[in-house]
Amino acid sequence: MTTLKLEAQPRSLVGSKVKQLRRQGKVPVVIYGKHQTPENIQVDAFTFDRLLSGGASSQLLEVTIEGVGIRNVLIREVQRHPVRHEPLHADFYAVSMTEKQRVHVPVVAVGRTGGLAADLVMVQSLDHVEIEALPADIPAHVEVDISRLDSAEAHPITVAEFPEMPGVVYMTPAEETAFSIVVTRAAAEEEEVEEVVDAEPELIGRERDDEDETDE
């Protein structure tokens, strides 16, 4: 798997003083981990945001700290501005390349569901899947072929059918549904109306007439 890279510098400003960094286009970051003493660093906001947009939140990230060295990390948390959505702070988890990690990676549909009737639609109910793998084996995403979903009778695709990937173990339950074909709401409502129209009417008036005849 491709390792993403990010340049960083040691950070001396902490607390409320980090506002100065943000004005300079920097994001304050803390690196921590099982075998890692917490380190305060700073990274370029634009570069970091671009990496996040490319899927870095679930991939191994190689951080080169100026004058210090290299840290292999996973992004654990990113705080964003509520309006501008720019990154304000991040937590990186330092990992050992020989210890397996559990992470959630995106699920991406590939292929086409050709020939679907107008009243049918493909639904993706699983956006991410949990996996366990060594840091170097963590994929950017998992691609799932949905081309067999071509009719209302097609069985849903579950995690059990996800592709095998070297060094990757799926931790999400195998029976969990990821993709399925469902009838659209409009079609379902139309079917309900047809059932009501086709139903045999209750002969209330006739029963009343029968009762009157019995009374006579």
For 42-53, the pLDDT digits (tens) are 999 999 999 999
- According to DSSP, residue 140 is labeled S
Domains detected in the chain: 4-98 (2.40.240.10), 102-181 (2.170.120.20)
What's the pLDDT band for 214 if we cut at 50, 70, 90?
very low
Nearest-5° Cα angle at 95, 94 to 101: 130
Could you tell me if 168 and 185 are in contact, meaning their C-beta atoms sit under 8 angstroms apart?
no
Question: What per-residue confidence (pLDDT) applies to 116?
Answer: 72
Is the pLDDT at 88 greater than 90? The verdict is: yes
Who wins on pLDDT, 92 or 190? Answer: 92
Nearest to 129 by CA among 182, 76, 95, 174: 174
Question: What per-residue confidence (pLDDT) applies to 188?
Answer: 46
Q: What is the pTM of this model?
A: 0.77
Question: What per-residue confidence (pLDDT) applies to 115?
Answer: 66
Question: What per-residue confidence (pLDDT) applies to 151?
Answer: 83
CA atoms of 200 and 197, how far apart (whole Å): 8
Per-residue pLDDT of 154-201, as tens digits, reads 899 999 999 999 999 999 999 999 999 998 765 444 444 444 445 455
Positive or negative: CA dihedral 131, 134, 139, 143: negative
CA atoms of 49 and 87, how far apart (whole Å): 7
